[in-house]
Structure 1
Amino acid sequence: MDGTAPHDLPSVTVTPFDQHDPAFLADPYATFAALRERGEVHEHPGMGIALAVSHSACQAVLRHRGLGRIWTDAKPVERFTAFNLLHRNSLLENEPPTHTRLRRLVAAAFGRGHVERLRPWVADLADRLVDELVAKIGSEGSADLLSHVATPLPVEVIAELLGVPAADRPLLQPWSNAIVKMYEYGLPAEKEAAAERAAAEFVAYLRELVAHRRASPGEDLVSDLVAVTDADGAKLTEDELVATAVLLLMAGHEATVNVIGNGVRALMAHRDQWRLLVSAPDLLPSAVEESIRYDSPLQLFERTATERVEIAGHTVPPGTKIAALLGAAARDPAVFADPDVLDITRSPNPHLGFGMGIHYCLGAPLARIEVEAALSALTRRLPDAVLAAEPERRQEFVMRGWRELHLGRG
């Protein structure tokens, strides 16, 4: 050895993985472990971004004030008018002082008791959805957890939170599914076009909903967002209000679907952990956290350097991007004992699934309520659940989940 410290070594310049490779998507965690052994940050030329793979480096990426969410319009801008409008005005895609103002206003509306108000309603909804799943299993031998429980649960919850009329709620999931495809790398042109159409339809719908709530306020978050004003007299613009509502749906829906799906799939594969959860419902909160950690629903979160930044010895020049690879951070043995083992008793569990710093997920409390309600209903109403077939994985990297997850009775 020449005495050079590992963090002084140059970052890997070869492509560390192919994010479209089905074998990699089936199990990216072995690749992440190999990358961590070689260094904490690696360049990915194919994706045009540096990737932090250790827990400490990912935490630094999420916390560093020289790394921000700097929105760059999708190009050509004339093709992505609605998509860009949503992101340009989003809480998630802005830095202070705009972020500070938006978060203060949105947090004030959230702080009016909406999440706790929904807790019993969410539990009752989860019970009803799981009852439908159990009935389907009884009549057909198996049923898809995703279509019967994991997908409708967060859509209904966000729709209830926003005050979307019941007749309109079937519109929300297709819009969300189409828009989030834009977060993948190397997206085909037809899916880009579908994302813009969905964004335009969603924007138009929400403008109508906002206009209705201005005229007739209700006990919902959109009404509160219309009304809320901060100490300086600032209010959300209509574009900001629309962008906030879309962000809540996309972040709340996609992530929660995949936490439930990924978590239940892991529990079905680790029967001792499933049996433990069935027998010890007090472990539900820690089971939720472990589900988020073990198979991260969001694998990657980007930041852009606003100044020269160093992360684990890797220089990020101004204007260039680095991402926290959350799935890699969640399996870092420096932080998690036996990281490849599912352990619903794990405590502490400092996963980064909800982010960190000023962009920490505002909807985290609601997401935890939803996932816990789903797991609770399943353990009580389907304690003998088993996988009825090997599930099919979605061939996407950033948003990690399953296409379907059929359960039966053992």
Structure 2
Amino acid sequence: MRFDPWNPDFVAFPYDAYAELRREAPVGFFEPTGQWLVARHADVNALLRDRRLGRTYLHVATHEEFGRLSPPEFQEPWWRVNNAGMLDLEPPEHTRLRRLVSRAFTPRMVESLRPRVKEIAGGLVDAFVAQGGGDLIAEVAEPLPVTVIAEMLGVPESDRGLLRPWSADMCGMFELNPSLEAQHAAVRAATEFAGYLRGLAAERRGDPGDDLISALAQIEELTEDELVGTCVLLLNAGHEATVNVTGNGWWALFRNPGELARLRADHSLLPTAIEELMRWDTPLQMFERWVLEDIEIGGVAIPKGVEVALLFGSANRDPEVFVEPDRLDLGRADNPHISFGAGIHFCLGAPLARIELAESFGALLTKAPAMELVKEPVWKPGYVIRGLESLEVAI
């Protein structure tokens, strides 16, 4: 099967197509999206660190100067939020914003959250076991990271049900050639999400609490747009990947019963197991960068002004880097996967995500040791942010 990100069969299993790309066209132009696909680990890893590429080009040129069309006017609310978050900024703005936000993600601060994460995960799994199972994604995978990041930010418990739908709709814009319906849904979500956060920040300026929104609201050099963009990024990135690693990971374990039995027999494998599950079925399959000056990738000339699509899912199965890459090995010691990215945009929340995954998987292994799949799951239609619709299990 060729690279076809709108084909459900490809989304369900893109790895044969990736192997073909790595062999025959490791750097190749994909006409439907106007992007250059990059499939090999060495190239993807190097380009993530290459300052001749950027998540944006607006720090060096206008849309017109860069030979691109301005986004449609109706999309402005979405871009206003997205472009104010550090993921889509480049230095010096990125450096300043990441420095401010990283104060909340020091190793000590993140590790101090472990008891609370363990408590939340344990409570969710206890309730899940008591009802005899159900949809693992809706009942455990989603509420854990949403609760953790919402508590960090200080989102009231009564409002947390708003977050996941807003996030899902906003993230629809990251898919390849999103439909007009998806674009409008993303704009609506961005408008509502931003309005909600502006109101919350205004409250906390006058009556600060012990939470991240209160802390950010007191920082004078942070604009309101940057505060909103940062909070949206933390909420979206802070749970989308973790949800999908949990769902994809358990589905991977059910498909590899020998490795699942190995993990059930030896919970000390959990740290390497989590890294391997992130590698074997990567939650973020593609990460895009703009080419800011003419470059060469693997002997292929890539001109300034185009976009490269770095195929994380392919890089994480590259036999040049991983021994038997298609085999799930929960004890894999040498595992330089790039599921969290690399370079200046390396995922700020990676340590927190690892804690959430360790506590979630650990609680399920301990409290539901015989958990089994009820029916084969279906993949969501999205390719870039790739996850399951649901995962029905019995305890």
Q: Report the TM-score when normalising by structure 1.
A: 0.91
Q: How does 1:206-355 map to 2 (within 5 A)?
A: 206-228=197-219, 235-355=221-341
Report the count of equivalent residues: 386
Whether the 8 Å CA contact 1:71–1:88 is kept in 2: the answer is no
Measured against aligned partners, the alpha-carbon deviations of 1:305-357 in whole angstroms (never above 9, x if no partner) come to 11111121122211111121000000001111111111110112100000000
**Counterpart pick for 1:104 among 95, 99, 102:** 99
Gaps of 5+ in 2: 64-68
Match of 1:50, SS state, is: strand
Provide the residue aligned with 2:80 in structure 1: 85
2: CA distance between counterparts of 1:396 and 1:215?
41
Match of 2:87, SS state, is: coil
Q: How does 1:396-407 map to 2 (within 5 A)?
A: 396-407=382-393
2: CA distance between counterparts of 1:29 and 1:163?
40
2: CA distance between counterparts of 1:182 and 1:136?
36
Question: Which amino acid counterpart does residue 93 of structure 1 have in structure 2?
Answer: D
Q: How does 1:125-136 map to 2 (within 5 A)?
A: 125-136=120-131
Q: How does 1:14-29 map to 2 (within 5 A)?
A: 16-29=2-15
2: CA distance between counterparts of 1:340 and 1:127?
32
**Counterpart pick for 1:60 among 25, 36, 46:** 46
Match of 2:389, SS state, is: strand
Measured against aligned partners, the alpha-carbon deviations of 1:274-299 in whole angstroms (never above 9, x if no partner) come to 12212222111111111110000000
Alignment CA distance shift 1:112-1:404 (3 Å): closer
Whether the 8 Å CA contact 1:393–1:403 is kept in 2: the answer is yes
Measured against aligned partners, the alpha-carbon deviations of 1:4-37 in whole angstroms (never above 9, x if no partner) come to xxxxxxxxxxx95221112211210011001111
Match of 1:346, SS state, is: coil
Match of 1:392, SS state, is: coil
Does the alignment pair 1:189 with 2:177? no
Identity %: 48
Residue 135 (structure 1) shift: 1.7
Question: Which amino acid counterpart does residue 296 of structure 1 have in structure 2?
Answer: T
Provide the residue aligned with 1:176 in structure 2: 167
Does the alignment pair 1:204 with 2:187? no
Question: Which amino acid counterpart does residue 123 of structure 1 have in structure 2?
Answer: K
Provide the residue aligned with 1:8 in structure 2: none
Alignment CA distance shift 1:110-1:308 (3 Å): same
Residue 110 (structure 1) shift: 2.9
Whether the 8 Å CA contact 2:107–2:351 is kept in 1: the answer is no
Q: How does 1:146-157 map to 2 (within 5 A)?
A: 146-157=137-148
2: CA distance between counterparts of 1:163 and 1:112?
20
Residue 76 (structure 1) shift: 4.4
Does the alignment pair 1:122 with 2:117? yes
**Counterpart pick for 2:157 among 166, 171, 184:** 166
2: CA distance between counterparts of 1:23 and 1:319?
32
Provide the residue aligned with 1:392 in structure 2: 378
2: CA distance between counterparts of 1:401 and 1:27?
12
2: CA distance between counterparts of 1:71 and 1:390?
42
Match of 1:399, SS state, is: coil
2: CA distance between counterparts of 1:314 and 1:192?
33
Measured against aligned partners, the alpha-carbon deviations of 1:353-410 in whole angstroms (never above 9, x if no partner) come to 000000000010111111111100110011111111111111111011100101114x
Question: Which amino acid counterpart does residue 296 of structure 2 have in structure 1?
Answer: E
Gaps of 5+ in 1: 1-14, 229-233
Does the alignment pair 1:42 with 2:28? yes
2: CA distance between counterparts of 1:78 and 1:338?
48
Provide the residue aligned with 2:134 in structure 1: 143
2: CA distance between counterparts of 1:95 and 1:275?
45
Question: Which amino acid counterpart does residue 124 of structure 2 have in structure 1?
Answer: L
1: CA distance between counterparts of 2:54 and 2:86?
12
**Counterpart pick for 1:371 among 327, 345, 357:** 357
Match of 1:310, SS state, is: strand
Residue 71 (structure 1) shift: 5.8
1: CA distance between counterparts of 2:10 and 2:295?
30
Whether the 8 Å CA contact 2:57–2:292 is kept in 1: the answer is no
Question: Which amino acid counterpart does residue 218 of structure 2 have in structure 1?
Answer: A
Match of 1:222, SS state, is: helix
Provide the residue aligned with 1:5 in structure 2: none
2: CA distance between counterparts of 1:80 and 1:89?
14
